[in-house]
Chains A and B, each alone.
Chain A
Amino acid sequence: MKTVEKIVNPVKRAGEQSPGKIYSDKLKVRARREWRGVKDTLYDYTRWLYLMSVLGRFIMVPRNVKGFFRYRWMMSYLFVPHGMDKFTIGLRDEALRIAHTSFNFVIADVTAAIGKCFRGDRRVGNDVEFSERCVITDENSMVTFMMGFDKDKTPTILREVPTMFASNIFHQFNVMHYLDVAQQYGIPGDVCPMPEAEAGISIEDDFCVLGACAVQNNTTCDGSLMGNGIIAKRLEREYGIPTYQLATPLRHKEPDVLEYAAEEIKKAIAFVEEHTGGKWDWDLYFQAAKRVNYATRCRIAQMEINSSPYPQFFGAAFSLYNDTNYMGNSGRDPEFIKIDKKLLELAEQGYKAKRMYAKEYRHRCIVWGVQPQYVIDMLYWLVQCWGVVPLTDMLSVINTDMIAEEDTPENREQAYRDMAMLNMEMIMRNHTHGGYKVLLDDLWELCEKMNADIVMMWEHMSCKALTGMHGMFEEQARERGIHIMWVSHDLCDPRVFTRQAIRDQVNNYMRTVMREEPLDPSLEIIPDNEAY
């Protein structure tokens, strides 16, 4: 089997040595916050103050209070600081700053999205003029087709992000209600719970109702595509909001689908223009294209650092930031440039100083598959508890090609193909669809490139595209001498796999197969199954 060189951290971590002690089986949150030494604790404290100010400013708006009491999913946002704590376990120095910089920005972005939802919502803010300029889209939606629209004049709202995706991060039980509603109406329990929960929210009438129109797509899976039909029916027939289904080919590596995908983008743009009155502006598009390329360059640079012995930006924060930037932003917001820049500076600084996240790096790991968002952040836990460094995750391995950024007549045609390419190569589906090569071969190439000896395979109970290749992963990993560690989970339903049941799969593998002892035994079993 392949092995990698063990690296011992020469620097003792400041403050608390065993963060496992701060969990409590009597509380649904942590007993206290982590002591990280004076400097880092104060930094963490200031970021906590910042989060409180974001939440405080949000709740000062009367319509947001009204929305808070109308929508069940809003309860999750009571636990934003708790969610943040999940993503900073054991972190110090640059790692702590990277996690806060990226994740705080994600939280600000989600908060803004909720604010917009409530502003236009017919039940809450009912700002008709605003609502009639808005385009609502899915949770897993690339918004490339909005790159040429003014983001303030024609706002895009990924309505399912605050409602389902993000709310699930902060409160692991909050989505269960919607799964139960969906199943009560006959959707089986064996489909992917993410689109199922979204369908449940629609059936429960718990989505904000706003927008001049909606654009749905099939960027994830069969379940997501099918759930859209249920959501669109209510949007169209009950609320009179026209929907457009943006079809995105699955075999995205085949050149013979590109023209079709480009044509679909053109139609989506025309649909938005027709219903919102917004006008496509090529200047805005090419400015956004430049920002997309900048983000791509930064991501490539971060991956280069992660290929070194001293990776810096990884874990849930990396994945969620990429989700937000690549998919939800698509170059439209210049603020992301500053964050990209800052994150890269921090990572370079950490790399030069040879900063490590744990006292020892024993294994280098690629995280593959569809990852659960509600879990205590597994990836930081993995490195702290077992010294297994998660170099990157599948959802962060996305497009590395540059798109046309100069406004020329030829590039205007190319732009549709670029948008189509980005759309087809959307997060997750760029590996889960498009043939087995992007799922299997890409993984082994990545293992080689990043010098990984372990693959942690998230086996999401209902992700058929992934589990459909289970045996092939096993066989091909064996041929290559790569350890493959299966970790089953359910994306949104902790009744199927609790947090500890998920961690125990790693614990068992590390103890029985790798014959190793944990770096930090205080983290091996954490009493947080019932925690939010």
Chain B
Amino acid sequence: MRDLKHLNYFENLLQVANNELVVQAKKDGKICVAYTCENVPEPLLNLGDCVSIRLSAPNTGSMDIATYYMTNLLCEPSRALLERAVEGGFNFADCVITPDGCTMMNRAVENMELLKTMGKENPRFFHEYMEIAFKNSPNDVNLAVLQCTNHILNPLQKNYGVDISDAAMREAVEKHNRLCRLIRAIGDFRKEDKPRITGYEFHVLCLASYVCPKYLILDKLEETLEELKTREPDDKPWRARVLLVGSEVDDSGLVKLIEEQGAFVCCDRFCFGSYPGRVEIVLNDEEDALTQICRHYIQNCQCPRMMNQEKVYSRKQYVAELAKEYKADGIIYQQVKFCDPWAYERTLGAAMLQNDYGYPVLSVDRPYNIASSSGQMRTRVQAFVESIEIKNIQRGGKA
């Protein structure tokens, strides 16, 4: 296929956390609201002049300092973020909002706070920690509303004079939805038998939508969507179509590695992927926007930390439905090493998707930066692709 016109541009944006668009946003006088978990309602971080920047640490190498503070037993994303913060890589942040979601990420940010890694030049800088919902119940919606009010809205208003009115929230949701529609429309091309976008390309675009100020990438995403409408797909068939599920994938190299083995990553269901992160938020006029936003996040949340059994089962069903919709031949459940929630989720998920839904599943752990251990992953994926092909042959299909 012809290269996407802006792919290289988006790839470059993912090379550093403080990328050129973040710098541009700061110049535009925007308030950079840093965050670390997709359970935080994103539109609330984009009210008025605020722009949400999801913290990431691309091209992570040594994590010595973070390992001293948190030992080598904590997950690599949490250590990579702390290392990057200590190096000064997140100095653009005007505040950090962290839910007490997974313990390790929470500890990473607490270390950032204690080490005063950010906000030295900004007297209005603040850290906020919030409780997030555990279940999808009305009580949890109430909790989320209160937590968002106390730990996002009020601090933003108090420190930066941000407009936190219902109208401002609706406007933020509309902007958010515009982005979601774009990403989803681009992602829908992955459903085609001969997809005109690769999983890698899609991942680059989707990830950029989290780590860059949204208002600065919309035009290029729109242009990319138009370009895709007329893009000619390759004739060469993929050996298998796989759905990628699990911990956050900040390194597009992982998706590239999988696709290099002939497995097309037809859909993404991981932290900061397009499902459920880029699902539109539908608001009505009868109820206040904040409650509806919170309810949307709770109902759509696929985080393994959601603990009621209904959610436990529905998470697997959600994966199975996506696999069906995107015509996946198999599912890759992956977790970043030392991630407790996904360690259990991938074990149970792999078993249920295999036994209850009949999908071949590869269950695997991996490093944050795939380049540090690509050989092992390559072998696992190759074997998985071959096993899918063998199953197809046994069923009378072609390899």
B74 within 8 A of A: yes
* Chain B residues, Cβ within 8 Å of A254: 131
Say which residue of A229, A260, A459 sits within 8 Å of B344 (CB atoms).
A229
Instruction: Give the contacts of B140-185 with A (CB-CB under 8 A).
Output: 140, 142-143, 146-147, 150
Docked CA distance A243–B347 (Å): 20
- Which chain A residues numbered 253 to 278 have a C-beta less than 8 Å away from chain B? 254, 256-257, 259-260, 263-264, 267
Question: Residue A461 at the B interface, CB < 8 A?
Answer: yes
A4 interface residue (CB < 8 Å to B): no
Residues of B within 8 A of A436 (CB): 107, 110, 114
Q: How far is the CB of B128 from chain A (nearest CB, A)?
A: 11
Q: Tell me whether B319 is interfacial, beta carbon within 8 Å.
A: no
A249's closest neighbor in chain B, by CB?
Answer: B131
Contact with A along B103-137 (1 / 0, CB 8 A): 11001101100100000000000000111001100
Cα A93 to Cα B118 in complex, Å, equals 56
Q: Tell whether, in the assembled complex, residue B139 and residue A468 are in contact, meaning their CB atoms are under 8 Å apart.
A: no
Q: Please tell me which one of the listed residues A223, A264, A469 contacts residue B340 in the complex, with CB atoms under 8 A apart.
A: A223
Mask, A132-146, CB within 8 Å of B = 1, is 000000000000000
Q: B348 — which chain A residues lie within 8 A by C-beta?
A: 229-230, 233
- Partner-binding segment picked from A187-195, A325-333, A509-517: A187-195
Distance between B64 CB and nearest chain A CB, rounded to angstroms: 11
Q: Is the CB of B344 within 8 A of A187?
A: yes
Please state if B73 and A435 are interface contacts (CB–CB under 8 Å). Answer: no
On chain B, the residues within 8 Å of A467 by CB distance are: 70-71, 73-74
List, in ascending order, chain A residues with CB within 8 A of B357's CB.
Answer: none
Q: Indicate whether A156 reaches chain B with its CB closer than 8 angstroms.
A: no
- Does B77 belong to the interface (CB within 8 Å)? no
Q: How far is the CA of A233 from the CA of B365 in the complex (A)?
A: 23
CA–CA, A331 and B140, complex, Å: 29
Task: Identify which of residues 432-464 in chain A touch chain B, using a CB-to-CB cut-off of 8 Å.
Answer: 433, 435-436, 459, 461-462, 464
Given A249-B131, A256-B146, A471-B111, CB of A462 within 8 Å of CB of B73: yes
A471 with B337: CB separation less than 8 A: no
Question: Cβ of B69 < 8 Å from any Cβ of A?
Answer: yes
Residues of chain A from 196 to 244 with CB closer than 8 A to chain B in the complex: 199, 216, 218, 221-223, 225-230, 232-233, 236, 243
Question: A263 CA to B140 CA in the complex, in Å?
Answer: 10
CA distance A216 to B309 in the complex (A): 10
Would B71 and A190 count as touching, CB distance under 8 A? no
CB-based contact A468/B100 at 8 Å: no
For residue A186, CB closer than 8 A to chain B, the reply is yes
Min CB gap A482→B, angstroms: 17
CB of A247 within 8 A of CB of B134, answer yes
In the complex, chain B residues 336-379 whose Cβ is within 8 Å of any chain A Cβ: 337-338, 340-341, 343-348, 350-351, 363, 365
Asked if B344 and A251 sit within 8 Å, CB to CB, the answer is: no
- B69 contacts A472, CB within 8 Å? yes
Known A-B contacts A190-B73, A260-B139; the reply to A226 vs B340 at CB < 8 A is yes
* Distance of B361 from chain A, by nearest CB (Å): 10
List of A residues within 8 angstroms of B142 by Cβ:
259-260, 263
Residues of A within 8 A of B307 (CB): 216, 218, 225, 228-229, 245, 247
- Which single member of B107, B150, B304 contacts A469 (CB below 8 Å)? B107
A226 touches B337 (CB 8 A): no
| Contact of A218 with B134 at beta-carbon distance under 8 Å, contacts A191-B343, A247-B307, A468-B107 already known | yes
**Max count, chain B CB within 10 A of own CB: residue among A228, A254, A256, A260:** A260
A254 to B147, CA, bound (A): 10
Q: Judge whether B108 and A468 touch: CB under 8 Å.
A: yes
Contacts of B73 in A (CB 8 A): 190, 461-462, 464, 467
List, in ascending order, chain B residues with CB within 8 A of A236's CB: 309
Cβ-defined contact, B344 with A226, below 8 A: yes
A185 proximity list for chain B (CB < 8 A): 347, 351
A217 to B69, CA, bound (A): 30
B225 within 8 A of A: no
Contacts of B312 in A (CB 8 A): 229, 232-233
* A222 and B70 contacting across the interface, CB-CB below 8 Å: no
The docked-state distance in angstroms from the alpha carbon of A464 to that of B78 is 11
CA distance A186 to B334 in the complex (A): 12
- Name the one of B100, B104, B305, B337 contacting A464, with C-beta atoms under 8 angstroms: B104
- How far, in Å, is B138 (CB) from chain A's closest CB? 9
A250 in the interface, Cβ–Cβ < 8 Å? yes
Contacts of A245 in B (CB 8 A): 134-135, 307-309
Which of A199, A263, A461 is the one whose CB lies under 8 Å from B139?
Answer: A263
- Are A464 and B146 within 8 A (Cβ)? no
* Cβ–Cβ < 8 Å partners of B308 in chain A: 245, 247
Q: How many Å lie between the Cα of A82 and that of B374 in the bound state?
A: 50
Q: Smallest CB–CB gap between B129 and chain A, Å?
A: 6
Docked-complex contact B134 and A468, CB < 8 angstroms: no
B281 beta carbon closer than 8 Å to chain A: no
- The chain A residue with its CB closest to the CB of B150 is A256
**In the complex, B102 has a CB within 8 A of chain A:** yes
User: B70 to A186, Cβ gap below 8 A?
Assistant: no
CA of A260 to CA of B75 in the docked complex: distance in angstroms? 30
Question: Which residues of B sit under 8 angstroms from A260, Cβ to Cβ?
Answer: 131, 139-140, 142-143, 146
Q: At the interface, yes or no: A465 with Cβ under 8 Å from chain B?
A: yes
Question: What's the Cα separation between A177 and B282 when bound, in Å?
Answer: 50
In the complex, the answer to whether A187 meets B347 with C-beta atoms within 8 Å is yes
Q: With an 8 A cutoff between CB atoms, is A495 at the interface? A: no
Contact with A along B196-240 (1 / 0, CB 8 A): 000000000000000000000000000000000000000000000
Q: Evaluate whether A226 and B345 lie within 8 angstroms (CB atoms) in the complex, with A221-B103, A467-B71 already known.
A: yes
How long is the Cα–Cα vector from A268 to B73 in the complex, in angstroms?
35
Taking CB atoms, residues of chain A closer than 8 Å to B130 are 251
Please indicate the chain A residues that have their CB under 8 angstroms from the CB of B68 in the complex.
Answer: 470-471
| Least distance between A57 CB and chain B CB atoms (Å) | 38
30 pairs of residues in contact across A and B, judged by CB atoms under 8 Å: A186-B347, A186-B363, A187-B344, A188-B365, A199-B344, A222-B103, A225-B307, A226-B340, A226-B343, A230-B344, A245-B134, A245-B308, A247-B134, A251-B131, A256-B131, A256-B150, A257-B131, A260-B139, A260-B140, A260-B142, A260-B143, A461-B73, A462-B73, A464-B74, A465-B107, A467-B71, A468-B71, A468-B104, A470-B68, A471-B111
Beyond A223-B344, A245-B134, A260-B131, 5 extra complex contacts between A and B, CB < 8 Å: A222-B341, A230-B344, A464-B340, A468-B110, A470-B69
Closest 6 CB pairs of A and B: A468-B107, A471-B69, A226-B344, A247-B134, A222-B340, A186-B347
